[in-house]
Structure formats: structure tokens, C-alpha cells
Amino acid sequence: MGTLDSRLDGRLDNKVALVTGIGAGMGTGIARAYAEAGATVVGADIDEGAGRAVMDTLGGPHRFVRGDVAQVAECEGLVADVVAGNGRIDVLVNNAGVTKSLGFFDVTEADWDRIYSVNARGLFFLMQAAARAMREQGGGRIVNIASIAGKGYRGTSNVAYAGTKGAVIAMTRISASQLARFGINVNSICPGVTRTALFEQVIGELIERTGVTREQAEANAVKSIPLRRANDPEDIAALAVYLASDAARNVTGQSWNVDGGLQWD
């Protein structure tokens, strides 16, 4: 898909947003959508080459900063960098995430620790660091990228990943409750099947593990979707813009599915 509808232009004027995992997929889509909507975007990624390439396409006041959200000190450093360089942080999008295609008996301790370190622990400590800054400035918005895997979607890549995304949904709700008095809104987006590099990775692993063709693997990925199409990153980005905008000023603690109708809750 192309750029977002021009009706989103100006929704995020004068806002400073930190978006993690911007080197590909949903992170790239969200960074571009935020820039189009008027925000100043600081894009973070562990892959410096990929991250800089994306942010260079945005130009203007937008910039890249390298960071590994699996490291708590780097979570704090990312927020400090944004505040030092831009004076404030109005929006955090916790998008960075990892997974792999694994059967129940294939999940190792190393897999578990890596997936949780990024998807759950890193997400929380980055949220905590951003909330400290937002509390001092009088408010802000946090958008956590969860997944319908966290609501029990059977087609998830593995049980550990599903557990992290369930944790994101729960942390979003509790954080929204505890941060509301500081004017901080916290919501999560739960994508379904989405065409990203992560999607391509999982498709490749399924092909290798099960021996099906690529066409069969992709067909299997979308056949259960009522609308019969996977998300594009822009589908997630449009909701991320709304949740960061003044239009969502009274929305907090929610987990929004974007999945073509796969999950009802």
C-alpha cells in the first residue's frame, strides 16, 4: 500500500514520538505515518543500517537512534536521548519484538529468555522510562504493539511469544489504570496476520518445518481470516496514529484487534 490517507495529516502536529523497531514492517509503517501526521519521529532499532535507512527517507526533523530494548539501561537511554534532543516525549510506540516458528516441545530456555527479554521485559522498562518523563511534563501517550496471539489465537508462532503478548495486554491495562492520574493514556494494538519481515520469517520456518510450498503456507496463513486478507503495516499504522492523537484523548487501557475478524475479543 501507499501512504496513509491525507485526512491523517496534522493529527500529530507538535508531538515528539519515539517508535521502536522501525527498521522494517510495522515499525517502518508507523514511523512514516507519524511523520505524515505531523509528529517529530525518533526511530529506534537494534539494526543500525536498517534503521538509519528508514529514517533517512523521512528527512526533516526526524532522526535515528540505535537501541536494544532487551537491555534495561538502553531503554532508559533511549528516553533520555529523546528528551535531551527534542525537549520532551509525547508518544511512545513500543513496537520492537521478536519471535520464531516453534512447536510446543521445541521451545528452549534460550528461546524463552530472548523472546521475553524483548517483548515483555524490554517493553515494560521502556514504558516505565517514558512514563517518568511524561509525568514530569504533564501527560503523554503510550501505544504498545501486542498481538492476537496474546488473546489465544491458535495460529501463533509459538507459546512463549503468545505469553509475552498476553503480558503486554495485561501490562497495558494495569499501566493505564496506574498512570491515568498523570494524564498518560496507555493502549495496545493486537495485529493479526501482518505482512512484515517477521511474517516472512515465520512463513519460511513453516515451509522448512512442514515441507509445504510457499503458496500453501501463505494460503494457510490467511484462509481462516473472515476478510480473506492479511494486514499491511499501514493498517496498524492508521490505528497507531489515532491512539496518539487528540481524537483518542479519552481512550485508555484498551487492546484493539486489527486482524480481519479473526478474534472477537
129, part of any domain = yes
Would strands 91-94 and 63-66 be described as parallel, antiparallel, or unpaired?
unpaired
Q: How far is CA 245 from the centre of its chain?
A: 16
Q: How far apart are CA 259 and CA 192, in angstroms?
A: 4
Q: Is residue 72 part of a domain?
A: yes
Q: What b/e readout covers 115-124, taking b as 16+ CB neighbours within 10 angstroms?
A: bbbbbbbbbb
Give the Cβ contact number of residue 255 at 10 Å.
Answer: 21
For the chain, the domain total comes to 1
1 lies in some domain: no
Is 242 assigned a catalytic role? no
Q: Is residue 108 part of a domain?
A: yes
Whole-prediction pTM: 0.91
How far apart (Å, rounded) are the C-alpha atoms in residues 239 and 165? 18
Q: Is residue 87 part of a domain?
A: yes
Per-residue pLDDT of the chain (265 residues; tens, 9 = 90+): 445 455 456 799 999 999 999 999 999 999 999 999 999 999 999 999 999 999 999 988 999 999 999 999 999 999 999 999 999 999 999 999 999 989 999 999 999 999 999 999 999 999 999 999 999 999 999 999 999 999 999 989 899 999 999 999 999 999 999 999 999 999 999 999 888 877 787 788 889 888 999 888 888 778 889 998 889 999 999 999 999 999 999 999 999 999 999 999 8
CATH number at residue 137: 3.40.50.720
Three-point CA angle 136, 94, 179, nearest 5°: 35
Residue 220 lies in a domain: no
For residue 205, being part of any structural domain is answered with no
Cα 260 vs. chain centroid, distance in angstroms? 18
pLDDT of amino acid 221: 75
Burial of 148 (0-12, 13-18, 19+ CB in 10 A): buried
Marked catalytic residue, from 34, 116, 153, 161: 161
d(C-alpha 13, C-alpha 91), whole Å:
12
Domain span at 57: 8-192+232-257
Alpha-carbon gap, residue 135 to 58, rounded angstroms: 29
Domain contains 57: yes
Q: Are 110 and 117 in contact (CB under 8 A)?
A: no
